[in-house]
Every structure is written in structure tokens, then in C-alpha cells.
Amino acid sequence: MNIKELEMKATEVRCGIIRSTHAAGSGHPGGSLSSADIVTALYFDEMNIDPADPKMKGRDKLILSKGHVAPAQYAALAERGFFPKEELLTLRKLGARLQGHPNMEYVPGVEMSTGSLGQGFATAAGMAIANKLDKDPGRVYALLGDGELQEGIIWETTMSSSHYKLDNLVAIVDHNGLQIDGPNDEVMTVMPIADKFQAFGWNVIVIDGHDMEQILDAFKQARTCEGRPTAIIAETTKGKGVSFMEGDAGWHGKAANDEQTEQALAELDQLLQEQKKALEV
């Protein structure tokens, strides 16, 4: 896919996020929307994966360390063909496999059951070590929330990943500045993020997390870095793509009602139509 096609696909992923959380009546749309461009770039361009063979040897893996943004991962997996898009409407339903946090036992394409903040990142590092030992060419990507950086296990993992020279590991920090209780800086500041990863010996790249070209270029840079893991600090907007959700911590963990959902989907559909016209030019 080219840049314009990826941008259009990210909008479709955002539509899936809104539809699924509305159908569930709960969930985490804010952070899911802020990470949609990153997740789209991973599943549709960067990662070596096969929907027909989810357990393919040598595949790349995405570990959703901020497991509560499962709606973003589910929407991208559905768009990529791992399961029918209609299944998104079963989010959080009793007996459904698409639950509030990803489950590796039931959902094709999900590599790790996550939710307890910080543990997904530690698992990703373990997978990267295993790939080194097994001479597996697969790369491991971990999506972290900025509020998640308040967890001590994050920095233990950052230290060990540098020590073991895990250049097959990429951490992407979705830095939208907000968590469930409000701004990071008021709850427990995590700044300066880039300086902290650099101090631990990581290769650090700071980007606009909604600029698809910058996202793809950062992943390319990470592939050329030898002997060090890479941290991509993606500056994002919570609720990106839906006007009334953008920059509002209140949308961290609640779903839109019927009227709000209609407005959100209308906005995203308008953007989608504009993107389609731009693609035709």
C-alpha cells in the first residue's frame, strides 16, 4: 500500500473502533483512536505476517502492552483478514472471543494476552531474546501507553533490552499525554521520555504519530539499527479523528452513545470520502 492507501485504511480502522465500542457499550476508544495510524502501519506495511497462517514461522509480532486498546488491534486484524469484520460487533459480549483485553488463545493474530500494564513489554523483550537464540528473523514490536511508563517493569525491561542488544525489538510509545485520571504530567509525569530511553542505551526516534510517512520511515530506521533496541516516541492526540473526543481524557474508557456514534462515524466517513478522492487524483 502507498501512503494515501494506508491513511485511508487507518480511517477504516477508526470506524471499526467506534462501531465495536458502541456495540459493546464500553471499552477504550480514546487510546485506540490515537494508536490507529501506528497499528495500521504495522499490520499493513511493516510486519511480515500472513492472515492465512497466523502462526507462520519467522513472522513479526505485535505485543499490545497497553492491552486496553484492543479495539484498535481487533479493527486492524479484521481489516487485514484475520477474522470477519462483522465480528467486531461482538466486542466484550459474553462468550465472544473479542474481549476487553486481547487473548492469544482465541483470537488469530494476537500474540500475547495482555492487560496488566508493563507486562506486555517485558514479554516482548523475552520474545526478542528467544528469536535471537533460535536465529528467528522475526521482529517484535511492543505498543506502550505513555501512562504505562509509570510502571517500574517498563524500566527494568528497557534496561535488560539494551543489555542484551535486542536490535530486533521496537517499542512504540503512544504519547497522547492523557490517561484515565487526566494529564500524565498531573498524575505522575513520565517526561522526558526520549531522554530516558536514550540514557538506557536505546536508539530513539521521535515522530508525529499521525503522519504515516514519518511512521513508516521510523520503522525503516529501526531496521537499520544494529546492536540496540529502538524506541519510537509517537506524539499523538487522544481520540484522534473524532472531533469531540480529541484531547479529552474522559474518552479514555467509555463508549459513545447512539447520537455520538452517529456523529463520529459521519466525521470519519467524510474524511474517508476525501481520502478516496485524493487517491484518485
Q: Convert the pLDDT of each residue in 102-119 to its tens digit.
A: 999 999 999 999 999 999
For helices 152-163 and 119-134, angle between their N-to-C axes, nearest 10 degrees: 20
Percent of the chain having pLDDT more than 90? 98
**25: pLDDT strictly greater than 90:** yes
Per-residue pLDDT of 227-254, as tens digits, reads 999 999 999 999 999 999 999 999 999 9
Q: How far apart are CA 185 and CA 86, in angstroms?
A: 39
Per-residue pLDDT of 117-156, as tens digits, reads 999 999 999 999 999 999 999 999 999 999 999 999 999 9
Q: In the chain, how many domains are there?
A: 1
By CB atoms closer than 10 A (0-12, 13-18, 19+), residue 253 is middle
Per-residue pLDDT of 90-100, as tens digits, reads 999 999 999 99
- Residue pair 173/149 in contact (Cβ under 8 Å)? The answer is yes
Per-residue pLDDT of 151-205, as tens digits, reads 999 999 999 999 999 999 999 999 999 999 999 999 999 999 999 999 999 999 9
Question: For residue 111, what is the domain's CATH number?
Answer: 3.40.50.970
pLDDT at 95: 94
pLDDT at 226: 98
Confidence class of residue 279 from pLDDT cuts 50, 70 and 90? confident
pLDDT at 82: 98
Q: DSSP readout, 154-189?
A: HHHHHHHHHHTT-TTEEEEEEE-SEETTEEHHHHS-
- Cα-Cα-Cα-Cα dihedral sign, residues 107, 113, 116, 118: negative
pLDDT at 140: 98
Residue 9's identity, in one-letter code, is K
| Coil, helix or strand at residue 61 | strand
Domain encompassing residue 129: 3-280
pLDDT at 281: 77
pLDDT at 280: 86
Return mean pLDDT, the chain.
97
**74: pLDDT strictly greater than 90:** yes
pLDDT at 197: 98
pLDDT at 111: 98
pLDDT, mean of residues 70-75: 98
CA end-to-end distance (rounded Å), the chain: 16
